[in-house]
Structure 1
Amino acid sequence: MAAPLAALTAGAVVAVLLGAFGKVHDPTLSGTTTLGFRTVIAMKVVLTVVIGVLAVLQVLGALWLYGKLGIAAPRWLGTAHRISGTTALLLSVFVAYHCLWALGLETGRFHDGTPVPVRTVVHGVLGCAVFGAVVVKVVAVRSRRAPGWFLPVAGGVLFALLIAAVLTSAGWYLSTHGWPSTGGY
């Protein structure tokens, strides 16, 4: 149980530190990019949808690799699973940077006195928890002494948190505003 406890502790520290940074940092668009979209938010929505698709593919790939789909996994699947997981992680870091840097972690009231919507608070907390869960999952993947249940539980928790973060951001945006357009269209 040492590996899961150490991983949970490290993950909790990462999540809390990200949340603390998001609370004390003064949000700014300086140092951000839109990647050709009209706004930072539009860029984040598109990348977040990609991250959500990659997360679903990660779960399907893991189920296939562990023989849970009843079909033999091809030899290339392990490599594809690692590449798609790394891609999802890198995109998540990019999106999280833009969330924390441009928006911060808003709770209570905005600077103008209006209340912060519950969805915004939940999304911010979920975003911080995702990166704590990433730490736990990386330890689970790398640990040789962890119990057999640790990796699937860590992966399942990460998936659940990530999908909840996607739904409270990109899912909400798409249902409210539709698909974002690039700056030139």
Structure 2
Amino acid sequence: MATVDRPQRRGAALAGVLLAGSAVALALGVYGKEHDPALKPLFLAGFSGMLQLKSWLATLALVLVLLQVATAVWMFGRPPGARSAPGWVSPVHRWSGSIAFTVLIPVVLHCLWSLGFATTSTRVLLHSVAGCAFYGAYTAKMLGLRVRGLPGWAVPVLGGAVFASFVLLWLTSALWFFTRSGLALT
């Protein structure tokens, strides 16, 4: 019986995680492009419009994502001279990520169902691509946490891809909206 050496298993595990993330990103992009957008909100949850709802929920998620980054850095001991993370940091990291993901569900539903994958301007195209990339990277990162045999750098790099794609997503949507309409909830 032949044995597979460790680097080959790591490569296969990483390839599998990246393939799954790519499949999710591609599936969302194809659905968003092929689906006829409804051009109306699914629900408004007290907001005066779909863009207000999406912008404020995305901003709440951004705050939680920044908490994610801070707790991840603390858990992995990267701040120079920082003491090791207390026991509550890991649960805060997990829960802030879970809440951020949950907060983003209405946002992605509105993006895909109501607006679709749009290419009407460079900003909108970047936003559509960043949205697909975010969910692909998120899928890869979450699988990477569960798959054994990944290189040690894989999960932090995947987490960085989640963060970078989300920041681009937020910049091309919520920040764009707030700079044009102000910070009003209605």
- 1:95 aligned partner, one-letter code: V
Correspondence 1:155 to 2:159: yes
- Match of 2:78, SS? coil
Which structure 2 residues correspond to residues 165-176 of structure 1 after superposition, within 5 A? 165-176=169-180
Q: Is the 8 A contact 2:25 2:132 kept in 1?
A: yes
Report the CA distance between 1:148 and its aligned residue: 0.3
Structure-2 residue corresponding to 1:130 = 134
1:42-76 deviation line (CA, Å, top 9, x unaligned): 10100000111111111110000111121331211
State the distance in 1 between where 2:73 and 2:127 align: 27
Gaps of 5+ in 2: 1-10
Alignment coverage as a number of residue pairs: 174
1:118-177 deviation line (CA, Å, top 9, x unaligned): 101110111011100011101111122111010110001110011110111001111111
Gaps of 5+ in 1: 108-115
Rate the CA distance shift 1:157–1:98 in 2: closer, same or farther, 3 A: same
Correspondence 1:64 to 2:74: yes
- Match of 1:56, SS? helix
Report the CA distance between 1:180 and its aligned residue: 3.2
State the distance in 1 between where 2:182 and 2:176 align: 9
* TM-score between both structures, scaled by the size of structure 1: 0.90
State the distance in 2 between where 1:31 and 1:50 align: 19
Structure-2 residue corresponding to 1:19 = 29
Identity of aligned residues (%): 40
Q: Tell which deviates more after alignment, 145-154 or 91-100.
A: 91-100
- Match of 1:126, SS? helix
Structure-1 residue corresponding to 2:38 = 28
4+ aligned runs moved over 4 Å, structure 1: none
- 2:59 aligned partner, one-letter code: V
Q: 1:45 aligns with which of 55, 80, 85?
A: 55
What RMSD over aligned residues (CA atoms) do the two structures have, in Å? 1.3
Structure-2 residue corresponding to 1:111 = none
Q: Is the 8 A contact 2:32 2:113 kept in 1?
A: yes
Structure-2 residue corresponding to 1:73 = 85
Q: Is the 8 A contact 1:46 1:180 kept in 2?
A: no
